[in-house]
Amino acid sequence: MTILITGATGLVGTALTELCLEEGYTVHYLTTRKNKIVESSNYKGFYWNPAEKEIDTAALDDVSCIVHLVGASISKRWTKSYKKKILDSRIESANLLFETLKENENKVRHFISASGIGIYPSSRTKLYSEENTETGDNFLARVVVAWELAADRFKTLGIDVAKIRTGLVLSARDGALPQMVKPIKLGLGAPLGSGKQWHSWIHIEDIARIYLSVIANEREGIFNAVAPTPVTNSKLMYQIARKLDAPYWLPNVPAFALKLSLGEMSMLLLEGQLVRSEKFAAFGFTFIHFNLESALNDLL
Ligand SMILES: NC(=O)c1ccc[n+]([C@@H]2O[C@H](COP(=O)([O-])OP(=O)(O)OC[C@H]3O[C@@H](n4cnc5c(N)ncnc54)[C@H](OP(=O)(O)O)[C@@H]3O)[C@@H](O)[C@H]2O)c1
């Protein structure tokens, strides 16, 4: 079976590609960076430029499943133009895939899109499962809503669609964890804001396994992808400090200071959702890293 992955060069894409190759799948991937294109018998890169509606349609040869992971990072300062890039990178790329499938003969029957738990409103008390239909009233939630609508369009082509609402991915390689570790290593670890906001996290190995399970079982619908044990910000910071043997006694970093230095994107640190992967629990999916201690022992 051949799978086409967009964003395969990123954090989740790299881990997923490795798993897919181990499972014996052939992986095609689309990249905007020509220097990232390599080709072997079961792993082939193809160039695209969604902003210019440019795509190498050979990427679709024999493909039955597309995993769409593309998205400009949300952890760069949210200027007006960068906010546009966050939205456009996700939607234009999905739309280009849609138009390409519509206009070219293909064997695609499954489209799996990355999504985010940032779609749910921030809350300290509410537990969100896939059943919840409320959406937040902020930039990030609006991006996720548009992103999921772009994915849903593929249903009109007779393709099954799955949306993976991903929590905070913890990896030693990239993403949020190395950024959190830096100040803590310098002895500057402290809870952010109230410290009571939730972080529904997932280990990189488990998010890749979740995608693989959605591919292998041809699942469709909305899936929350988070470990079963979300933690508050103060617990996350504390556990990282403890694992690193770093001091952890400073007072909370006031929310206004983070808002002042980071602007609107400070919500990524100051707000959060308590989320449960109801569907994966029902499938009997076993998380390798069930609790934060196990994840940090592995990553740090
Ligand atoms: N990591 C997390 O904690 C987390 C949490 C929730 C949701 N997600 C979502 O899951 C997906 C994968 O996450 P990730 O952490 O693996 O992301 P990542 O490491 O930032 O990689 C995303 C990939 O998207 C492509 N890309 C970036 N900007 C682009 C643009 N303007 N136009 C076209 N392609 C562009 C890049 O591929 P090329 O350079 O090869 O083109 C890049 O490798 C993302 O959509 C992300 O929003 C991630």
Report pLDDT digits (tens) over 141-187.
999 999 999 999 999 999 999 999 999 999 999 999 999 999 999 99
The stretch 217-227 carries a mean pLDDT of 98
**Which residue is listed with tokens 């400073």?**
250
Torsion of CA 202, 203, 204, 207, to 10 degrees: -50
Tens of pLDDT, residues 54-69: 999 999 999 999 999 9
In a domain, 69, yes or no: yes
In a domain, 39, yes or no: yes
In a domain, 87, yes or no: yes
| Bridge partners for 40 per DSSP | 43
State the average pLDDT for the chain: 97
pLDDT for res 254: 97
Cα–ligand 1 centroid distance for 246 (angstroms):
31
- The H or E element that residue 41 is part of is none
pLDDT for res 204: 98
Nearest CA to ligand 1 atom 13: 12
In a domain, 288, yes or no: no
The stretch 241-269 carries a mean pLDDT of 96
pTM of the predicted model over 0.95: yes
Tens of pLDDT, residues 68-116: 999 999 999 999 999 999 999 999 999 999 999 999 999 999 999 999 9
CA distances from 281 to 9, 172, 179, 226, 273 (A): 29, 26, 30, 11, 18
In a domain, 52, yes or no: yes
Q: Of 47, 166, 210, 275, which is best to mutate to test ligand 1, by the most ligand atoms within 8 angstroms of its C-beta?
A: 166
In a domain, 271, yes or no: no
* 36 within ligand 1 shell (Cβ under 6 A): yes
> What is the domain extent for residue 159?
2-170+201-226
* 73 within ligand 1 shell (Cβ under 6 A): yes
Query: Which CATH number fits the domain that encloses residue 53?
Result: 3.40.50.720
Give the count of domains, the chain.
1
Cα–ligand 1 centroid distance for 156 (angstroms):
25
pLDDT for res 170: 98
Spatial contact of 105 and 165, defined as CB atoms under 8 Å apart: no
What DSSP character marks residue 116?
A: E
In a domain, 10, yes or no: yes
